Structure 1
Amino acid sequence: MTSTNPNPSSRFESAPYIPPDRIFELTAQYLSDPASPKVNLGQGTYCDSNGQPWILPAVAAARDRLAATGLNHEYLPILGHPVFRTLAPRLALGSALHATLSSQIATCQALSGTGSLHLAGVLLRYLQSQTSPTSPLPKVYIPTPTWSNHHQIFTSLGFEVATLPYYSATTRSLALEPYLATLAAAEPNSVVILHACAHNPSGCDPSLAEWRQIAQTVKDRHLFPLFDAAYLGFNSGDLDQDAAAIRLFAGEEFGLEIGVCMSFAKNMGLYGERTGCFFLTTHQETTARNTESVLEVLQRREVSNPPAYGAKIAALILGDEGLTEIWKEDLRTMSGRIREMRERLVEGLVQFGAPGDWEHLVRQTGMFGFLGLDEEVVKELREEDHIYMADNSRVSIAGLNPGNVEYVAKAIAERLRKRNA
């Protein structure tokens, strides 16, 4: 009779424990917290003025149309929804530039922003293996601070990540001089990650004049600009304004080949549908066609083909003039509410005597902002006041509403006054 070992060894014994993603862990802590009031300023999802998830009217209308036309659940092509793949790059580039470059664009639908960035990295790694298999991968310059997934995506693919100074905690603004100096010293053919607008987490974006300086440096050093475009239209309420940097780099003035990683999670509220698009502009039509064929193979290997529902909604909105106008109004609603909450928060901080200057919160744009609080203060706010935010005091302004903004401002002011007493 064969004896059974009650504690057999496992082939997975070498798996280390990796702590949960901090932002998602914060949301879980918030949800399990029985306290009232409580406020979630961690996760970046838009909520309405009552603190509830908001289905955009344009999305609701598109969803109704899909249901009325007999929505099915068949596979999309490997590269994704054909109409969506045409209209998403047109949105980012604008109609005129898109018409000029259309034959030189390679496009693939992807799994929102994360999937788009990952696909871009896989493509860059593949091309390196074809041209210089014994050479190291190009460095990827990532701004500091930045969205945490940027580092995780590219390091997991074997890229060396280099730090690109971006935000000055002293001036609470863009650190342009060290940023440009680092780019000017970068090795040619390196990749630079650029937030198209609504920089996450600082909320500080370059002006158009500063973007020109950045573009010139990128061109002079032969760097590859890879835009993370998760907030087009959501940032300012104006799609053209939010896409200006993308169009500047790819347009006639600089004529750069660029990569753009688009997400429709924020600007259409399609968070769970994972609707995204990666496209790049090239200098030759043949290059675009060949690169797109590579993207198709890489997509097949990883996900076979992308999810359909969100892409169908986005394609309807982008392709119908009436739905597009409704969506533009939705964007103005979201961006306007966030600007109002920034102003209300600053007013409250001043009213309740919070020491310091808080005008940087109004200068910042987009969903996120830096409060500039010590980690101990953040911990006290979480444990004593049940206000949840990232340890570095990055806050999602979308988590504020007329019912909680005064409570948040007062709690922050009280914590800071006690420390200064």
Structure 2
Amino acid sequence: MAINNGIKQDRVSVFANLQHAPPGGPFALAAEYQHDENPNKVDLVIGAYRDDNGQPWQLPSVKEAKRRMNIESIDHEYLPLRGNTDFLDAARTLVFGPTISQNTVRSIASIQTVSGTGANSLIAAFLQRHAQPTNIWLPDPTWANHVDIWRENAPDVNVRWYPYYDGYNRRFNLDGTIKALRTEAQEHDAILLHACAHNPTGLDPNREGWREIAVLCEEKKLFIVFDLAYQGFASGDLDRDAWAIRHFATHPDVEMAVCQSFSKNLGLYGERTGALHVMALIESPSPSADSIENHLVDLQRALVSMAPRLGSQIATEVLTSSELHAMWRDDLLTMSGRIKAMRQALYDELVRLKTPGDWSHIVEQTGMFSYTGLGSDDVAMLKKKYHVYMLPSGRASICGLTTGNVRYTAQAIHEVVTRGRVENDR
């Protein structure tokens, strides 16, 4: 019997055995970084764009859109359960291009989601309920949240891995991917593909590789889930970053979903603006887009009711105005260009320092992240001695580099790698 303030209590909380669960992964490191008082500290963990002063950057196109919208006058009424129709039409065209969107529009179901995470969660639950794949094939490695999303939303679907990364050569492992899927994937399994700027490696298939993967997926009748978190943010070109999705869409027997996020490419991180598009076969007796959308609405309604309003309105303003769209394309070039410049600066400095090893993979990778090739011991030393923070896997967010800290970061990497090389030679 428990006693509280002299009062006897017979009840014990149903959560009495609940253990403390500290934040893990990038969130734990972010908390450490925030409490680090060293003036030279460098944050290569954050998965958000930063300018050359290390500060959040509001896209000029987004700022102008909000000015035109007169946000103070906007009401806060509910969206329809499916979401903002104008936003969904524009978002779908952005993914598939005008030709595919217009020619097969009724075979593509679209619903607004709580950013890309919500889209991934919704398609996992939808596939378990209505397609019942035996396995979901995830790239090894992938964004850590993909595993949790599938285990929480589709617990009856087995999580399997295909060998995406060739650590020895620091390249995308096309041969390993093809072999694993050809020999082990079952018909009607689901497979997750990063459309561009693979997180965490920064390595994507080339177009010939994408063609080979598309043929295999069609032959095996795999359901493809594209995660599109970085369209336009990776290369600076919206169409180039959507190429893989549009190519898969030309295969007549391919069914797929696209989980679309506007967090990175519009900087709408906290607005949670995204969409899920499901492309189904159009031959009878295939379901209509309306039928698929109705089931997606029912699932999402039980989880979050409907997606947020303001972010979708800002996105619609940018996507549907020719002037703002042109400004946005310039913004994408600014962000992707700065990231490429920081990749080059880090590489150049490591070469200048004659840091042991080949660092060309840093400039060959693309997007926000780099799989540096540093081991967990190297990463631990970088944090302990030099206050440079990155994930234990060696994944570094290039957005954390600036002209003010890139030489310091390169020097720290050089000293850690050189020290490790000397110790190994003893």
User: Please, which runs of 5 or more residues in structure 2 have no aligned partner?
Assistant: none
CA contact (8 A) 1:236 1:242 kept: yes
TM alignment of 1:153-232, pairs within 5 A: 153-157=149-153, 158=155, 159-185=157-183, 186-232=185-231
CA contact (8 A) 1:79 1:299 kept: no
Q: Does 1:290 align with 2:312?
A: no
> Per-residue CA shift, 1:326-381, capped at 9, x if unaligned?
00010011111101100000111112221100001110000001111111110111
Shift of 1:299: 1.5
Q: Does 1:138 align with 2:134?
A: yes
One-letter amino acid of the structure 1 residue matched with residue 324 of structure 2 = L
CA contact (8 A) 2:133 2:188 kept: no
- Separation of aligned partners in 1, 2:103 and 2:17: 53
Alignment partner for residue 263 of structure 2, among 262, 265, 285?
265
Q: Does 1:250 align with 2:249?
A: yes
Which residue pairs with 1:315 in the alignment? 316
CA contact (8 A) 1:262 1:278 kept: yes
Shift of 1:305: 1.3
CA contact (8 A) 1:225 1:258 kept: yes
Shift of 1:137: 4.6
Shift of 1:301: 0.9
CA contact (8 A) 1:353 1:417 kept: no
- Separation of aligned partners in 1, 2:344 and 2:266: 24
- Separation of aligned partners in 1, 2:112 and 2:249: 20
TM alignment of 1:326-345, pairs within 5 A: 326-345=327-346
TM alignment of 1:9-408, pairs within 5 A: 9-67=12-70, 70-128=73-131, 137-157=133-153, 158=155, 159-185=157-183, 186-251=185-250, 253-284=251-282, 286-408=287-409
- Separation of aligned partners in 1, 2:178 and 2:240: 23
Alignment partner for residue 4 of structure 1, among 4, 7, 19?
7
Shift of 1:94: 0.5
- Separation of aligned partners in 2, 1:247 and 1:21: 36
Which residue pairs with 1:132 in the alignment? none
- Separation of aligned partners in 2, 1:380 and 1:392: 13
One-letter amino acid of the structure 2 residue matched with residue 267 of structure 1 = N
One-letter amino acid of the structure 2 residue matched with residue 342 of structure 1 = R
- Separation of aligned partners in 1, 2:128 and 2:19: 27
- Separation of aligned partners in 1, 2:194 and 2:335: 19
Shift of 1:10: 1.4
- Separation of aligned partners in 2, 1:293 and 1:168: 42
- Separation of aligned partners in 2, 1:218 and 1:181: 12
Shift of 1:16: 3.5
Shift of 1:4: 3.2
One-letter amino acid of the structure 2 residue matched with residue 239 of structure 1 = L
- Number of aligned residue pairs: 412
One-letter amino acid of the structure 2 residue matched with residue 399 of structure 1 = G
> Per-residue CA shift, 1:183-235, capped at 9, x if unaligned?
11201110000000000000110011100000000000010010000000000
Shift of 1:18: 3.1
Distance 1:24 1:304, change over 3 A: same
TM-score by length of 2: 0.94
- Separation of aligned partners in 1, 2:168 and 2:9: 59
Shift of 1:112: 0.8
CA-based RMSD: 1.6
User: Please, which runs of 5 or more residues in structure 1 have no aligned partner?
Assistant: 129-135
One-letter amino acid of the structure 1 residue matched with residue 288 of structure 2 = T
> Per-residue CA shift, 1:250-270, capped at 9, x if unaligned?
12x455221000000001111
Shift of 1:69: 7.9
- Separation of aligned partners in 2, 1:69 and 1:408: 43
- Separation of aligned partners in 2, 1:166 and 1:304: 36
Distance 1:254 1:351, change over 3 A: farther
One-letter amino acid of the structure 1 residue matched with residue 228 of structure 2 = A
- Separation of aligned partners in 1, 2:421 and 2:230: 37
CA contact (8 A) 1:354 1:417 kept: yes
One-letter amino acid of the structure 2 residue matched with residue 310 of structure 1 = G
One-letter amino acid of the structure 2 residue matched with residue 271 of structure 1 = Y
> Per-residue CA shift, 1:104-135, capped at 9, x if unaligned?
1111100111111001111112214xxxxxxx
Shift of 1:31: 1.1
Shift of 1:70: 2.1
Which residue pairs with 1:131 in the alignment? none
Shift of 1:402: 0.4
- Separation of aligned partners in 1, 2:301 and 2:71: 31
> Per-residue CA shift, 1:46-101, capped at 9, x if unaligned?
00111110000111011112226821111111111111111111100011111111
SS in 2 for 1:5: strand
CA contact (8 A) 2:143 2:200 kept: yes
- Separation of aligned partners in 1, 2:101 and 2:219: 24
Q: Which piece of structure 1 moves more, 380-389 or 68-77?
A: 68-77
- Separation of aligned partners in 1, 2:223 and 2:29: 35
- Separation of aligned partners in 1, 2:287 and 2:392: 48
CA contact (8 A) 2:221 2:254 kept: no
CA contact (8 A) 2:280 2:287 kept: no
One-letter amino acid of the structure 2 residue matched with residue 149 of structure 1 = N
